[in-house]
Chains A and B, each alone.
Chain A
Amino acid sequence: MIELKNVKKEYDNGFVALKNINLHCNEGEITALIGPSGCGKTTLMKLINRLDNPTKGSVSIKGKDISKIDPVELRRSIGYVIQQIGLFPHMNIARNVGTVPKLLKWDKERIKNRVDELLELVSLDPEIYRERFPSELSGGQQQRIGVIRALAAEPSVILMDEPFSALDPISREQLQDELVRLQREIKKSIVFVTHDMDEALKIADRIVLMKSGEIVQHGTPEEILRHPANAFVEEFIGQKRLERFQDIPPVSQVMVKRPITVTPNRGLAESMRIMEDKKVDSLIVVDEMNHLLGYITVFDVVKAYSNEYALVKHIMHSFNTTVEPDTLLPDAIQLMTELQTPYLPVVKEKGILEGLLTRGSIVGFIGSAYPSIKEGAV
């Protein structure tokens, strides 16, 4: 849809705002440009409606090189929302929203219907708001008008330059939610500049992370969270968010690494002593080579205790199910739930015992993976 090829932007004073940018924005998706201030994200966006022109390289929309389109025509076909809202203070809401259709010489009736339709789209009653002036509206309402003004002439591309960052947190949340809802209906190709990672994660289909005029990483929010390209990305995303969205761990990260074991030729009294020592109610039975054989529980031991010749191997049960070290934790948890078993042995190839996944170990892991929960509990 929008394609930037080898784009470089150098200002007259020698400042290089963009270095060799290659970017493709998909149709019907929200692409968030994010990065610290001065990274070139706004400059990049302004190249798309020719408020700025690249020093080198080309920008094309739907395969058409935009340097060959008249900038005024181009801008009328692209919605534009800015941080400072930029409503015209001397025009009422209807005229503000109808600006672009009027420039495109739509007839009056069509403009009026479109304005009413758009006001309803953002839940502002046309009867009440049509005639009002921007100064009579709250900041959140003003930016809703800013957004629908950009939508008025049905552009397929919309540019948004930090549209919600000047709003109070509550309005910001509301407008983000509304944008997500709106986008489901209108399916526009939106380029959204922001410096707020939470905002990008919430609304964007794809995130383009920039730093000093270069794209550091481009991917879906999921990809960026799971595989941050480098330390800068990790730092920008923030440790907390990374932990929250961390890779789903395999059981090898969660299991008890040295479960309490016993060999099959031990006596029951000795087994009982080990259980008492380690304060556990079961023991895993392995041979000298650490091959998994089965398990015994304290109840088995008590039942057979009177028989002095009984050995562990006489009373042990074998496991019906084992998991491998790289089985994912959610799968293992589901298995434990289905089997109603308090623990699962983790076994490497050739039956060698690696560890034991217990309910306690799962709880311990979740506790450490969600530091915010712990902090919140204080």
Chain B
Amino acid sequence: MEFISNFFSYVVDNWAHLASLTLDHILMVVIGLILALIVGIPLGILCAKNEKLAKVILATVSIIQVFPSIALLGILMVFFGLGFKTVIVGLFLYSLLPIVRNTYVGLREVDENISEAGKGVGMTITQLLLKVQLPLSLPFLLAGIRVAAVIAVGVATLAPFIGGDGLGRDILAGINTRQPVKIFSGAIIAAILAIIADVTLGRTQERLEH
């Protein structure tokens, strides 16, 4: 009981600090995701158009994914130095697999007859993709973003190890100074962020699927 009251008094006393850490955290995740979308969707489309390329691309992004996150960030630090930039690259790489794979699966799941109808009425390949195939694969893509967002929120807590900001800073400080209250405040807020991302994206996905 005492711990819970300590926790709440810590959050209330440091709300401005925590809010700025949370904002940093969200910012990193969002930028990482956006980059992953910018790169991942075209890669997914490429996979759907070419089966041979699909194997290579999917294998590559899968390998990135199985790398332990702390190790990946460490390697990236060698190339990109300390700081915000490196964290963003790490989050981007971690979000890539779910987005590439779901874009690919979503496009392949589009009913061939509908694509044939689109082609038959005289759509160009680009029009077919933009007007028919991508909109129809949107629920899959959203599921990918949802998975990527939850992963990214978690991975972003490791940012302080390579000079980044975000909720990880409080967690790390808590570990170093043996203040469990600090660890929990960072961890709980990060968990809440992940849950919010999961639920909102899940709802949007359901609405798209009717």
Contacts and interface: CB of A to CB of B under 8 A. Distances in A.
Contact of B120 (A51, A77, A87, A135): A51
Given A72-B124, A89-B136, A90-B135, A82 B119 contact: no
Interface size range on B against A = 10 to 19
A75 interface: yes
Nearest to B208: A90
Contacts, number: 59
Interface string A51-93: 1000000000000000000001111111010101111111000
Interface in A142-166: 149-150, 159
- Which of B111, B120, B122, B210 has the most CB atoms of chain A within a 10 A radius of its CB? B122
A84 B120 CA distance: 13
A348 B151 CA distance: 99
Contacts of A100: 121-122
A248 interface: no
Contact of A82 (B120, B127, B135): B120
Nearest to B124: A72
Contacts of B114: 86-89
A99 interface: yes
Given A86-B113, A86-B116, A89-B114, A103 B135 contact: no
A49 interface: yes
A135 B113 CA distance: 15
B119 A51 contact: yes
Given A88-B118, A89-B136, A90-B135, A103 B113 contact: no
Contacts of B135: 90
B122 to A, nearest CB: 3
- Which of B116, B117, B131 has the most CB atoms of chain A within a 10 A radius of its CB? B117
Given A88-B132, A89-B136, A90-B135, A103 B117 contact: no
Contacts of A77: 122
Contact of B122 (A72, A84, A135): A72
Interface in A239-287: none
Contacts of B210: 135
Given A84-B113, A86-B114, A88-B132, A75 B124 contact: no
B132 A75 contact: no
B58 interface: no
A76 B119 contact: no
A87 B118 CA distance: 9
20 contacts: A49-B120, A51-B116, A72-B124, A73-B122, A76-B122, A77-B122, A80-B117, A82-B113, A86-B111, A86-B116, A86-B117, A88-B117, A88-B136, A89-B114, A90-B132, A90-B136, A99-B121, A103-B123, A149-B121, A159-B120
Nearest 6 Cβ contacts at the A-B interface: A86-B117, A76-B122, A75-B122, A84-B113, A80-B120, A86-B113
Interface of B: 111, 113-114, 116-124, 127, 131-132, 135-136, 210
